[in-house]
Amino acid sequence: MARTLAASGVWGVLLFAAAAPALAGAPLQAEALKAYRGDDGQGVEIVTLAPRKAAEVLIRVRGTDARDDGIALRCAVEDVGRGIDYVTRHRGTRYTLVVQRDGVYEVFLPGKPSFRVKFNSEATDKASAAEVIAAHLQQLESGQVAAFQKKQWPHLEQKYAGRAASALADLQKACGTQAAFTFDWKTFSDEVMGELDVWAACAPLVAQARSHCAAVKGVTSLVCRFGPVLSLERADSTLVFTTTARGAAEGPAVLAKSLSP
């Protein structure tokens, strides 16, 4: 039997995803949890999210040797007639993580053979919905979920990296710095990659660094990431520029102000 949180005397788990752009301002509340075990020690926890009518769950898979072992993913619950599909996204497309057919659960992790699991009452009693939600939120913040779900853009990334290398060479020549440049790719969603000239949005960082050589003395790393608000942060010898869709137009002024003495 599923452990229904309210019925077991445990208050519904309420955690907020303020750090995650996709869920900003939206609380995650657990209504129920079930835990499953495979023959080779695999563990699967399925947390039903409130409201139940939304048909969404968090699924965490552990105890495998898969690259994505331990990831906790938000999935849609889709009734397919004689069973259920638990669907998320992987590399930009729909991906069925778990299927249930006639009461039998089968798990699919990328790059590994599928395996079956059975409901485990003891594991359910020991499992914590709060811990699964916390793991999911931490993975959202770290970019692990985005890395799993977003499409691969090798050609675009290579093109932008080439443009960055050329601009960086000019910076190194002008300022005598040996700073490296990095795109924080996990922060650039598929929508951003498909619609925005990412290098144009990031280029002001290198251009303004070149115009403010004194400010970048000792800087060894320039990082461009995508976020909700234009900003520049310095951590030791690293400059992190958070760009937006308006980064190409508005980024230079923000950076010049930040880098000026």
123-146 pLDDT, tens digit each: 999 999 999 999 999 999 888 998
- pLDDT band at residue 74, thresholds of 50, 70 and 90? very high
- pLDDT band at residue 98, thresholds of 50, 70 and 90? very high
**What residues pair up with 131 in beta bridges, in sequence order?**
none
DSSP alpha helix (H) spans, 98-246: 121-126, 129-142, 144-149, 154-175, 190-195, 198-211
β-pair type (43-49, 3-4): unpaired
Domain ranges of the chain: 3-149, 154-259
Residue 24 has pLDDT above 50, yes or no: no
Residue 1 has pLDDT above 50, yes or no: no
The percent of residues in the chain predicted with pLDDT above 90, rounded, is 74
* Burial of 34 from C-beta contacts in 10 A (0-12 / 13-18 / 19+): buried
The percent of residues in the chain predicted with pLDDT above 70, rounded, is 90
Give the per-residue pLDDT at 6: 38
Report DSSP state, residue 53. Answer: G
Question: For the chain, what is the mean pLDDT?
Answer: 88
Q: Calculate helix-pair angle for 154-175, 198-211, nearest 10 degrees.
A: 10
Length of the chain (residues):
261
Give the per-residue pLDDT at 26: 64
pLDDT-wise least confident of 20-34, 75-89, 196-210 = 20-34
Report DSSP state, residue 173. Answer: H
Burial 11-21 (b: 16+ CB within 10 A, else e): eebeeebeebe
- pLDDT band at residue 103, thresholds of 50, 70 and 90? confident
Mean pLDDT across 222-241:
95
Under 8 Å between Cβ of 71 and 144: yes
Burial 201-223 (b: 16+ CB within 10 A, else e): bbbbbbbbbbbbeebbeebeebb
Give the per-residue pLDDT at 230: 97
Rounded distance between C-alpha atoms, residue 95 and residue 113, angstroms: 15
Under 8 Å between Cβ of 84 and 99: yes
Give per-residue pLDDT as tens, 180-197: 999 999 899 888 988 999
pTM of the model: 0.63
Give the per-residue pLDDT at 14: 26
More confident residue, 200 or 189: 200
